[in-house]
Structure formats: structure tokens, C-alpha cells
Chains A and B, each alone.
Chain A
Amino acid sequence: MNLFRSEQHAQQWKDWDQEMASTLRPVEWWTETFRNPIFRNRNRSDYLTWLTGESGISATAAFHDRLQQ
């Protein structure tokens, strides 16, 4: 899970895998993805309780849904 200077750089990387080309996205897209509450809430003192509760499960599902876009 790396950042690259450009799409061309990513495609020239030694470990480029065309099958995973759908993960090649602008950094702005990944930034939005990592705004999900499962990342935002990590500094909550009750994070694990939250993560395994209804809100956390819902947020995790939303994260996975976004990855399928």
C-alpha cells in the first residue's frame, strides 16, 4: 500500500500487478476513504468497544463498500 508520484510511476513499479489496477486512485480518493470513522475514532478511549459495536460494524461495512467501488 504505497504512494507514488503519478499513475505512470505506479505502473512502472517492480511489484505492479495489473489485476489490482482498480486500487490505483488519486491520493484525494484514498484520503476520503481514510476519513471513515474506523480510522477517525482510533484515539477514542473506548475504541474497541465502539469498533465491535453497531456503529463500528456499520462503519467497517461502509469502508468495505467503498473499496468495492
Chain B
Amino acid sequence: MQEIVATGVAPHYAELAPRLGISPNEALNRIESILAITPGWMHPGTDYIASFPPFNNQPTAYRITVRGEQRWFAQCGFEALACSWMFPGEIVDIKAPCLLGDDSLHLKMKDGELVLVDPETIVGYTRSRLGMEEPDQPFR
């Protein structure tokens, strides 16, 4: 988490291994174990972390800007609302396009509080079930 917060990119297991003083295989095993109990996932058929909530390693529509730098992408619209916990005391700027082609959405948050909602009518909706009870029920 420290790496993705600092850089916007989740490390590859081979990069993580020497930092933790473990073998690459062990680093991969640990990543897979973590993703099994948190709502993240590897890109199918690869050893690359695709999503490590609240962030996404692959770009999404939910762009996160902190201190003027847009380095991060949220896993989804809901997880975008959890990103500010990763940047204590900072203004976290969330921008996303409108899925129907109208003007984009803009939120600002600080320590879990909304400080800007534009437009004021923004809602959240998912057609997927939320939660982590079933292994085939990704949090997206």
C-alpha cells in the first residue's frame, strides 16, 4: 500500500521481494494471499496486480489527484470515496466522466469528508452485489 500511495503504481512481486527480504515466489504467494482476503485482483492470466483497493493499477474512469498530481486511479466510483483515508490531511480530488456523456463529475474529499460535490445531485449505483463473502464476487 505504501508504494501505490507514494507512486500510484503497485509494485511487481519481483520488485517487492528484495524489499521484504524474501524470494520472488514468496512475494507472489503473499500478494495472492492478500488479494484473496481483500477486494483486489490480479490481471487474468498474468502475475500483475490489476487492482489493489482503493486503487487500481490499470487506469479507470476515476482519476485521483493529490497535491496537484494525478497519479492514481480508484478501483471504482465507490472506492474513490475511500481514497482520502490513504492521504491523511490532504485534499483528494476525484474526477470522473459522466457515463451518459454529460458534464463530468467532480468531488473533493479530506479525511473522509466531502468538501465538494459537483453537481450536488451525484448518486452512487451498482448492478453488482457488494461485499466479499463469495470468492467469485469481486468488489467492482
Q: Interface residues, chain A, CB within 8 Å of chain B? A: 1-7, 9-10, 12-13, 15-17, 20, 23-31, 33-35, 39-43, 47-48, 51-52, 60, 63-64, 67
Contacts and interface: CB of A to CB of B under 8 A. Distances in A.
Given A42-B1, A42-B86, A5 B125 contact: no
Contact of B99 (A7, A9, A27, A29): A9
Given A1-B79, A9-B98, A40-B85, A24 B128 contact: no
Contact of A1 (B34, B37, B77, B100): B77
Interface residues of B, number: 48
Contacts of A2: 61, 76-77, 99, 124-126
B99 A4 contact: yes
B122 A5 contact: yes
Given A15-B127, A24-B125, A27-B117, A5 B98 contact: yes
Nearest to A35: B112
Given A15-B127, A30-B78, A3 B96 contact: yes
B123 A43 contact: no
